[in-house]
Structure 1
Amino acid sequence: MTLHYRPPNFIMLGLYFLAGAFVIYTSQTGYELTVLFIPLGSTALLIFGLLPILGALWGVRQALRPDPVTIDQTGLVLRVAGINRVVPWAAIAAVFLEPHVNPGNDTRTHRLVIVPAPGVDLGTAANYQNKADGRPSIILVALDDLRESYAEVTQALATYAGPRLAAQVSNPEPGPSV
């Protein structure tokens, strides 16, 4: 099973791009930006127009990034958290779907967390201590960034990870934040 990032809203990206292009066009046809009746000139308007275009291009870049995780019988194909390779199941001691509260907006989600097997170097430091047993772990991806549901990811991990899928830290589906 391949886990996919959620796609951005392409209509909004197009609107940002068009708005930026319009502002750049107006900066080149003699208009200028004024703030509190102080003229800042057409160069400021040009720079102001570049911001939404750069934002739209960043959104397209986010849409074209590779899928972060593929779960199959050989292990995990990872393109996330500084790991860009196939990690066999023998190199993974445990896999968690750990509950997490996003600090910015207090929404609840789960994160896919792996515990490397002892002596295995995955190319990045395992400096996060998971909430279940405190072992050094690596956070791969938050499930709210993915198209697949918690149930689909759990089913794939139960199928392929087997005993490496650790017991859940708390209730399986995060409820609304309090």
Structure 2
Amino acid sequence: MTLLVLVGAVTGFRQAVQRFEVDVDRDGWKVRIGRYRRDVRWPEISAVVLEDRTLGGRSTRVVLSVYLVPEAGVDLGAPSDLLAAVGRRSAVRLFDLEDLEVEEEQFLQEIADLAGDRLDNRSYRLNRARLHEDAARIVLKQGKELFDFPAGAEGVRTRRWLNRQRFQLFVGWYLFALVPVLLLTGLAARLSELLGAVVAALGLWAVVKAYARFVMMFSGATDLVENRVAVSGTEVVRVLNRSHRHDLHGGRAVVLPPRTRRGYGKAWLLGFPQAGMLLGDPRTGRLRDQADLYLLSAVLHESPYESDRYAARKIDDLAVQSQVADPVEPGGGGDARLWIALTRTGRAVAWAVVVGSILLTGAWLLDSTRFLGTPVLVLGLILTVLWAFYALYRIFALLGALWRVVRGNDRPGSSEE
């Protein structure tokens, strides 16, 4: 059986058409690429590798490349432009399959028959059908919880980054929204109580809107980071304090690139169409584990809606780019919970400054006006009571997180070696 590949290629420098031929049979490979002429026998070959390769440029795309990995001590004499690395092994890149007018499945079948055990198929594109079939069958029957993401120390860093963004926005909201409204209310009330009341009402509306628009900007990403996610049947289920369900077969799934939704940083998102699940880390842009992306894609490919299947194909592309070889730094689970509880307790301190500012403004208006100071002071007192309950809740949450960390460290085998 012989697999013959014959195509024309245009060299960038000479702008001339070169023909190259790769002839594969039971004896080995006959390679004619430009000036490279080599007959490679099967005993000289350690592996024939099929691997997806990402090409840059104006639009990123993924192609399937074919590599020859020589046996130890064998030099194939390839020119530098054909040399490559597959994992930690040196290899010769022969061609990209998109350059050939051949069906991928047919190519795989023929090369597998010739290479035998030497074939190393690392291509998600060629394995995709089998992976989708297996994953979809398991998920649709049993469901599966996805890995925490971001996990370990990376998750701790992402939570810190999100909290820093929120704190900076909170400070900006206090300095450039709340404080000016309080000052303007006081100054307007000195001129006219009616004018002061109008400024106070409009200012309250503006302050609340500014808080919802800016300070809460990263709350959606924070919720998605802290949620536990599972795929159950055809639904994505997110659980934190309560569950949220999104139908993967509802015709609403869409893959959102980074920066298309404010407050999610560099993260790729799976939306319905609003952001419903993180496909990437908001801080670094690192993609989810390939296994999770495969699983989501498998379920979406079974949808009766083309929009869902299109989202599946986009996730397929992301799965190829996912950094499976980049290990997640472990640890930090208990410390992360303690740090998050400590940060949220610190928010009570920040809100104490806000409530104190409103009380001071109420006292100022009480001395300088006849009527306006009383409602502002009452509002401040109501907020003080609410703040007291909030502060107690955060303190008890902090003590609970500290207790869980201490108990975890006291358990046999809980210490890290």
Deviations 1:107-159 (A, max 9, x none): 221000111111111112685221xx421111111111112222222112111
- Is the contact between residue 4 and residue 148 of structure 1 (CA under 8 Å) also seen in structure 2? no
Distance (Å, rounded) in 1 between the aligned partners of 2:34 and 2:91:
11
- Is the contact between residue 53 and residue 62 of structure 2 (CA under 8 Å) also seen in structure 1? yes
Which residue in the other structure is 2:395 paired with?
none
The answer to whether structure 1 residue 85 and structure 2 residue 61 are counterparts is no
Give the aligned residue type for 1:83: Y
From 110, 115, 134, the counterpart of 1:161: 115
- Is the contact between residue 19 and residue 33 of structure 2 (CA under 8 Å) also seen in structure 1? no
The answer to whether structure 1 residue 5 and structure 2 residue 14 are counterparts is no
Structure 1 residues 6, 144: CA separation in 2 closer, same or farther (over 3 Å shift)?
A: farther
Compare the two structures and name the one with the higher strand fraction: 1
Residue 82 of structure 1 deviates from its aligned partner by: 5.8
User: What's the secondary structure of 1:66's corresponding residue?
Assistant: strand
**More relative contact order in 1 or in 2 (CA 8 Å, sep 6+)?**
1
Give the aligned residue type for 2:29: L
- Is the contact between residue 5 and residue 21 of structure 2 (CA under 8 Å) also seen in structure 1? yes
Which residue in the other structure is 2:24 paired with?
71
Residue 7 of structure 1 deviates from its aligned partner by: 8.5
- Is the contact between residue 95 and residue 114 of structure 1 (CA under 8 Å) also seen in structure 2? yes
Distance (Å, rounded) in 2 between the aligned partners of 1:143 and 1:94:
17
- Is the contact between residue 6 and residue 147 of structure 1 (CA under 8 Å) also seen in structure 2? no
Give the aligned residue type for 2:41: P
Distance (Å, rounded) in 2 between the aligned partners of 1:89 and 1:121:
14
After superposition, residues 108-127 of structure 1 pair within 5 angstroms as 108-124=62-78, 127=83
Give the aligned residue type for 1:128: A
Distance (Å, rounded) in 2 between the aligned partners of 1:80 and 1:173:
28
Give the aligned residue type for 2:28: G
Give the aligned residue type for 2:52: P
Distance (Å, rounded) in 1 between the aligned partners of 2:19 and 2:96:
16
| Rg (Cα) greater in structure | 2
From 122, 125, 140, the counterpart of 2:94: 140
Aligned residues: 125
Give the aligned residue type for 1:160: L
User: What's the secondary structure of 2:110's corresponding residue?
Assistant: helix
Distance (Å, rounded) in 2 between the aligned partners of 1:109 and 1:115:
19
Q: CA RMSD in A?
A: 3.0
Give the aligned residue type for 1:103: G
> Structure 2-normalised TM-score?
0.27
**Unpaired runs of 5+ in structure 1?**
9-56
Residue 83 of structure 1 deviates from its aligned partner by: 3.3
From 57, 60, 76, the counterpart of 1:106: 60
Structure 1 residues 162, 87: CA separation in 2 closer, same or farther (over 3 Å shift)?
A: same
Structure 1 residues 157, 5: CA separation in 2 closer, same or farther (over 3 Å shift)?
A: same
Distance (Å, rounded) in 1 between the aligned partners of 2:74 and 2:34:
16
**Unpaired runs of 5+ in structure 2?**
129-312, 319-417
Residue 66 of structure 1 deviates from its aligned partner by: 3.1
Which residue in the other structure is 2:232 paired with?
none
Structure 1 residues 108, 97: CA separation in 2 closer, same or farther (over 3 Å shift)?
A: same
User: What's the secondary structure of 2:106's corresponding residue?
Assistant: helix
Structure 1 residues 148, 155: CA separation in 2 closer, same or farther (over 3 Å shift)?
A: same
Which residue in the other structure is 1:129 paired with?
85
- Is the contact between residue 143 and residue 149 of structure 1 (CA under 8 Å) also seen in structure 2? no
Residue 68 of structure 1 deviates from its aligned partner by: 2.9
Structure 1 residues 145, 127: CA separation in 2 closer, same or farther (over 3 Å shift)?
A: closer
